[in-house]
């Protein structure tokens, strides 16, 4: 069990960097085992598991992504250049926009046509309770200027190398507006009035948008529907939508948290109507909020701080993140009752950490928060869950891309930095499109105190994939004070070589900022041994990628 004193002692012992921390931590012999089973492939890891989420919220779009063509900030057609260049490097699968809750208030027509003629509209988030006390309610976070619309978003996706994933408004617009949006995006050159409008807006050729969310959180901000009502709406919205040769992948709005009855009742109704086949993906949302000592009804007030947190809150976030695995299993099993062939896949289109207000990168960045090594541990262990469930999860979108919740980037005016979560996405990028392999883990659990009661989290998280003769094994050691020494073997082929890259910092609170953008960054490590098992030491609160060449 880690006491507060041990934790602080560990922190002060390792301020000089991860290598020193490793040396000064308690000496151990191998206490863990990781076995990768080459002959037990799970499925191809969809590149879309490494997808992102961009909502018209706080400083995500305006300032984060869109600076405008006339800005002194380096840009490509109005889009922040540094951001697209960095995003491109982590190979984004898809990018979801314009929400979130914002989506069910958005009229796509407000964001097309000449930029100077577009209306300014009140943003969904203007009255949100999450605004920090005293924050000024002004600017694009409160009054959306419509400058970043369909075409700007599609161009941003193209620049970044990700596929657009639109979230349609099901709460406050009729179904016809959804079809018209599809028509605007996808109808062939010169074929319709909306295709002509698209051409006038600068895109003659169809945008060929494949991914469409049909509402967002339809049990809440997306309309307060019952699952049966939502099933009716879903069918109305998706009936006879022309696809213009693009096989539309329609995503249904899944449960509030882990609410099994929402999933069961929706699919039951869809099955009665013979319409399950219309759903391509079923959305799950899961945030880790570090509510310790409080009831979930108090989460809003009881969330912890992004930067200042005791061990209990660190482990609690890790534990909450681990719920993802059981959520996937339970909703997958319910869907199987109505879709035996499991044609419908899971789309975890919002996931990440959500802390209390107070660490926003700038005023107006609603839901903006700093991101530490704790968030890197959350990101890596969550991505491991998706990799291990590659047969079930077809897409996952971390919330959100920039200046909001578990961001990969912080950006304001001419200031820019990447977060530790960005580095995790870079370490994991090689898993995309590779074959996920079953990985058997054995490690001592980590004990901590939760609400004065003993609690535990898994001692190690990992996932593995193979492409040709190269295996990528990603390993997270969540312990704050224990080095994990693991014996590693890939069963089914000899070892040729191995190298490692680790993301670790002496202090789990370490983070990057505009002033210190490289405080946390990955470093190469040597891997000892030329045959199985390899023995490797994983520093406390670290994320490691092992690249293994098989003989």
Active site members: 217, 350
* 272 vs 266: CA distance, rounded Å: 10
Residue from 21, 45, 49, 55 binding ligand AHR (CB under 6 A) = 55
375 forms part of the interface with ligand AHR (CB under 6 A): no
Interacting residue with ligand AHR among 25, 105, 216, 525 (CB under 6 A)? 216
Q: How many CB atoms lie within 10 A of CB 89?
A: 15
Q: State the Cα–Cα distance between residues 14 and 19, nearest whole angstrom.
A: 8
State the Cα torsion 175-178-179-182 to the nearest 10°: -170
Give the largest CA-CA distance in the chain.
71
Which among 94-102, 149-157, 176-184, 476-484 is the span making contact with ligand AHR, rule CB under 6 A?
Answer: 94-102
Give the number of other CB atoms < 10 A from CB of residue 178: 22
Size of the site for ligand AHR (CB under 6 A): 10
DSSP type of residue 381: H
Shortest distance, position 296 Cβ to ligand AHR, whole Å = 14
Residues 154 to 183: which contact ligand AHR by CB under 6 A?
A: none
Stretch that binds ligand AHR, among 204-212, 250-258, 397-405, 537-545 (CB under 6 A): 397-405
Q: Is 292 in the site for ligand AHR (CB under 6 A)?
A: no
Going by C-alpha positions, the residue among 385, 429, 345, 378 that lies closest to residue 47 is 429
Interaction residues for ligand AHR, span 62-81 (CB under 6 A) = none
Cβ–Cβ under 8 Å, residues 32 and 373: no
Q: What Å distances lie between residue 151 and 102, 106, 181, 209, 228, CA to CA?
A: 18, 15, 12, 12, 34
Residue 440 Cβ vs ligand AHR, minimum distance, rounded to whole Å: 35
Q: Answer yes or no: are the C-beta atoms of 525 and 19 closer than 8 Å.
A: no
| Identified binder of ligand AHR from the candidate list 99, 227, 311, 361, rule CB under 6 A | 99
Q: Does 399 bind ligand AHR (CB under 6 A)?
A: yes
Strand partners, 388: none
Q: Is 100 in the site for ligand AHR (CB under 6 A)?
A: yes
Q: Residue 98 interacts with ligand AHR (CB under 6 A)? A: no
Contacting range for ligand AHR; rule: CB under 6 A; set: 63-71, 226-234, 338-346, 399-407: 399-407
Contact flag: residue 506 with ligand AHR (CB under 6 A) = no
Tell me the residue number closest to ligand AHR, measured at CB: 100
Least separation, in Å, of the C-beta of 404 and ligand AHR? 7
Q: Residue 110 burial by CB count (10 A; 0-12/13-18/19+): exposed, middle or buried?
A: middle
Is 465 a residue that touches ligand AHR (CB under 6 A)? no
The yes or no reply on residue 101 touching ligand AHR (CB under 6 A) is yes
Of the candidates 183, 203, 217, 384, which one interacts with ligand AHR according to CB under 6 A?
Answer: 217
Determine if 350 is a binding residue for ligand AHR (CB under 6 A): yes
Residues 212, 251 contacting (CB under 8 angstroms): yes
Question: Where does this chain touch ligand AHR (CB under 6 A) — which range of 95-103, 262-270, 330-338, 502-510?
Answer: 95-103
| Helices (H), ranges, 353-488 | 373-388, 420-428
Cβ 84 vs Cβ 408: under 8 Å: no
- Pinpoint the alpha helices (H) of 79-192: 81-89, 150-160, 175-186
Piece in contact with ligand AHR (CB under 6 A), picked from 98-106, 157-165, 258-266, 504-512: 98-106
In which residue are the tokens 């693991």 written? 486
Sites of contact with ligand AHR (CB under 6 A): 55, 99-101, 216-217, 350, 399-400, 405
């Amino acid at each position: 069990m880690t006491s507060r004193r041990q934790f602080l002692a560990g922190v002060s012992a390792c301020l000089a960097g991860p290598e020193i921390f490793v040396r000064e931590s308690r000496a151990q012999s191998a206490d863990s085992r990781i076995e990768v089973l080459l002959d037990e492939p799970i499925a191809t890891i969809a590149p879309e598991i490494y997808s992102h989420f961009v909502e018209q919220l706080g400083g995500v779009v305006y300032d984060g992504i869109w600076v405008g063509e006339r800005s002194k900030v380096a840009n490509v057609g109005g889009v922040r250049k540094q951001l697209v260049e960095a995003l491109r490097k982590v190979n984004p699968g898809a990018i979801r926009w314009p929400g979130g809750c914002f989506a069910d208030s958005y009229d796509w027509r407000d964001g097309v046509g000449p930029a100077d003629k577009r209306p300014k509209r009140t943003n969904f988030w203007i009255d949100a309770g999450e605004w920090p006390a005293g924050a000024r309610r002004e600017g694009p976070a409160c009054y959306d200027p419509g400058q970043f619309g369909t075409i700007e978003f599609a161009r941003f996706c193209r620049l970044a190398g990700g596929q657009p994933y639109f979230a349609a408004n099901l709460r406050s617009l009729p179904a016809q507006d959804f079809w018209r949006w599809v028509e605007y995006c996808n109808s062939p050159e010169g074929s319709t009035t909306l295709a002509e409008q698209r051409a006038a807006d600068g895109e003659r050729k169809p945008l060929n948008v494949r991914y469409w969310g049909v509402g967002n959180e339809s049990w809440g901000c997306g309309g307060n529907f019952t699952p049966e009502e939502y099933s009716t709406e879903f069918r109305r919205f998706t009936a006879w939508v022309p696809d213009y040769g693009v096989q539309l992948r329609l995503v249904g709005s899944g449960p509030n948290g882990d609410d099994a009855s929402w999933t069961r009742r929706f699919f039951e109704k869809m099955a009665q109507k013979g319409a399950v086949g219309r759903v391509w993906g079923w959305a799950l949302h899961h945030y880790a909020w570090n509510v310790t000592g409080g009831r979930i009804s108090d989460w809003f007030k009881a969330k912890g701080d992004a930067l200042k947190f005791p061990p209990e809150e660190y482990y609690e976030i890790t534990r909450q993140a681990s719920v993802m695995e059981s959520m996937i299993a339970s909703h997958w099993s319910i869907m199987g009752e109505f879709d035996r062939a499991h044609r419908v896949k899971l789309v975890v289109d919002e996931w990440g950490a959500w802390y209390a207000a107070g660490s926003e990168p700038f005023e107006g960045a609603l839901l903006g928060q700093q991101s530490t090594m704790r968030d890197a541990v959350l990101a890596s262990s969550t991505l491991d869950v998706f990799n291990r469930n590659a047969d079930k999860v077809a897409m996952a979108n971390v919330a959100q891309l920039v200046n909001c919740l578990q961001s990969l980037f912080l950006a304001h005016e001419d200031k820019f930095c990447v977060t530790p979560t960005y580095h995790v996405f870079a370490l994991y990028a090689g898993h995309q499109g590779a074959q996920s392999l079953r990985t058997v883990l054995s490690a001592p659990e980590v004990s901590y105190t939760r609400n004065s009661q003993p609690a535990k989290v898994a001692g190690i998280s990992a996932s593995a994939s193979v492409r040709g003769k190269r295996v990528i094994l990603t390993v997270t050691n969540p312990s704050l004070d224990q080095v994990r020494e693991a014996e590693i073997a890939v069963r089914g082929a000899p070892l040729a070589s191995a190298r490692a890259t680790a993301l670790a910092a002496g202090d789990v609170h370490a983070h990057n900022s505009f002033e210190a953008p490289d405080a946390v960054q990955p470093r190469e490590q040597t891997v000892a041994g030329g045959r199985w098992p390899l023995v490797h030491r994983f520093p406390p609160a670290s994320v490691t990628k092992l690249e293994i060449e098989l003989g």
